[in-house]
Amino acid sequence: MDLALLGLHTERDSKPSTAARQFVNIFAKAEAAPSGCIRGFRHVMLEDTDISSTRHARAAVGGLIGGLSGTGAVYVSGGAEHQGPSGGGPVAVIARLSDNQSD
C-alpha cells in the first residue's frame, strides 16, 4: 500500500500524521496463506489450536496497516478466499483529499 500514490503522506514527527487525519477508514480482507508460507518463510497460523488462523491474520494485517497509515481507523475482515490471491485480499482506503479541512 503506497500512500504517497494516493496523495496521503505520513510525517514521522507529526502526531497524528497528516495522512491519519485524512483517513476516514481503511478496510481489508485477510487470511492465512493456506500454503503455510509467507514470502518463502513458514508461518504457524494454521497450526495453533487455541486461536483460529483468521484471528491471527486479522491481527497481523490490522497492525501492519495501522503502522503504515498511522491511524487506528482500520477494519480487517477474515476469510479472503476467492477475493484475491491466495493468502491475501482486497484493501480499500477511504480518505478526504480536499485541502480545506477543519480539525
pLDDT of residue 63: 92
Buried b (16+ CB within 10 A) or exposed e, 39-54: eeeebebeeeeeeebb
pLDDT above 60 (res 100)? no
Residue 57 carries which side chain, given as an amino acid letter?
A: A
Distance, CA of 33 to CA of 95 (rounded, Å)? 29
| Pick from 11, 18, 13, 23: nearest CA to 65 | 23
What are the grid coordinates assigned to 34, written together? 493456506
Q: Which sign, positive or negative, has the C-alpha torsion 36, 39, 42, 47?
A: negative
State pLDDT tens for residues 42-94.
888 887 667 788 888 888 889 988 888 878 889 998 876 667 676 667 888 88
Question: Quick one: pLDDT at residue 73?
Answer: 85
| Paired strand residues for 93 | 26
